[in-house]
Amino acid sequence: MEPVFTVDTLRLSNWIATASKLETNHAHFVAADIPATRRRILEVSQGRCRFTIADPGPFVQFREAHAYAGALAIKFLSWNCFGRCETNVARGANHHLSLHIPLTGGFEASQEGETVTVRPGDMLVVSSPGVVRRWWEGPCDLLNVMINRDAVLGAFARLPGGQALAEMPLTLVDLRKQVTLALFIENLVRDLGSAAPAFSTAGALPHVERLLLTLVAGALREAQGLAADRAVSTVAPYYVLRAEDYMRRHHAGKVRMSDVAAACGVSVRTLHYGFAKFRDRGPADVLRDIRLAQARHALIEARITGLKVAEIATRAGFPNASQFSRDYRAHFGESPSATLRAAFG
C-alpha cells in the first residue's frame, strides 16, 4: 500500500529541526536508549502508556516532536530501533480521540479482543475506553492526531448518530479514499510547522476543530458502512448502556444479572435480549471483559502499587485465580504473570 503522507510531504524535517526552539509552539525530545524512551513515554502519557521492547537489537534513537492547536495535539514519533516494540495504553472513559497514521513501517493494534493491521496509507481511529496494545518490529515513523474528548462530543452531538461514532472500537480508515480528510490533515501539520501558523489563531481554531471532526465522522461512517441518516434506534437502548455502567461500577464484587436488570428497570429476559441484539453477546461476557480490562490496567500499574497477580484478580472480581489466568490469556494472548513481569522490565 502506498503511503498518503511521508516525512518529506509533511515537511516534518523542518518541523523537527525547529521544535527545540523556545519561540515556537513545539516540543522536542530525543533519546538514545530504551530506559530514557520508556521514561519519556510514561511521563507524557501521565503513566497511562507503557513501552517495552523484546529481543532488542541496535537501539539507535527515539524522536518526538509535537505541537498544539486548541484541543488538537499533533505528535510525530520516530523509533529507529530493532526488535519487537510494544506500547500499552490504558484508556479511560474521558480519554481523547486518537488518529494513528504510520508514515514508514506499520504496526498491529488490539483492543477488547479485536486486532487490526495498520500500514502506511491507513489511519487507525481509537475512541473507546479500554487497554489498547500496539506492536511492531523495526524502524517506524508515526503521526498522531489527538483530539480532546469534550471537543469530540461537542462536534459529534451535532451529527446524526454522533454518540455511537464517539464510542466506536478500533476503526481502520483508508486515507486514499478520504482525499479531503487527508489533505486537511496534511495542511494542518504543515501550517503548525510554519513560522506563523494560521490554523491555531483564536478566530480559526473552532472552525478547524469542527471541520476535522466532521471529516473524521464521515470517514468513520463509511468505514463501518453507516449511512448518514441511520436511525437512532440502532444505537443501544438506555437499559443496555445503564447495565454496562452498573457493571463497570460494581465489577469488583459479586454481580448478579437479576441485580443488573433491577437497576435498569427491566426483566432479566429483556436484559439478555438487549445485549444479544445490540452487543452480539451476553451481559456476562461484557462483564468478564470489563473485569479483564480492569485487571490488565492494574497489572500494568503494579510497579507503582506493588500488587500481586492474586490480589489484582480478586480486586477485579475474579475469585478463582485459575479461571482468571485462562480468561486473561485467551483475551490478551499472554499470561497475567507475563504482563506483570513486563511492567517491571
Residue 222 neighbours by CB distance under 10 Å: 15
The domain ranges of the chain are 12-223, 236-343
52 DSSP assignment: E
Q: How far is CA 32 from CA 35, 55, 205, 288, in A?
A: 9, 17, 36, 41
Q: How far is CA 63 from CA 37, 76, 192, 345, in A?
A: 9, 8, 18, 21
Q: What are residue 329's phi and psi, to 5 degrees? A: -65, -40
What is the spatial distance between Cα 160 and Cα 223, in angstroms, rounded to a whole number? 16
Span 236-343 CATH architecture: Orthogonal Bundle (1.10)
Cell of 185: 490533515
* CATH of the domain spanning 12-223, picked from 3.40.50.720, 3.40.50.2030, 2.60.120.10, 3.30.300.30: 2.60.120.10
Specify the pLDDT at position 24: 41
- List per-residue pLDDT tens for the chain, 345 residues long: 456 777 777 777 655 544 434 334 445 788 888 888 888 888 888 888 899 888 767 888 888 888 788 778 888 888 888 888 899 998 888 889 999 999 888 899 998 878 899 998 899 999 888 899 999 988 888 999 999 888 888 888 777 667 777 778 889 998 888 889 998 998 888 888 777 888 878 888 888 888 898 899 888 888 766 433 333 334 678 899 889 889 989 999 999 999 999 999 999 999 999 998 888 889 999 999 899 988 887 887 776 778 899 999 999 999 998 999 999 888 877 888 888 887 665
Q: Give the contacts of 179 (CB within 8 A, at least 6 positions apart).
A: none
Tens-digit pLDDT profile for residues 5-53? 777 777 776 555 444 343 344 457 888 888 888 888 888 888 888 998 8
Q: How far is CA 219 from CA 74, 106, 213, 222, 297, in A?
A: 19, 20, 10, 5, 30
Q: How far is CA 170 from CA 60, 132, 133, 145, 342, in A?
A: 31, 9, 11, 15, 24
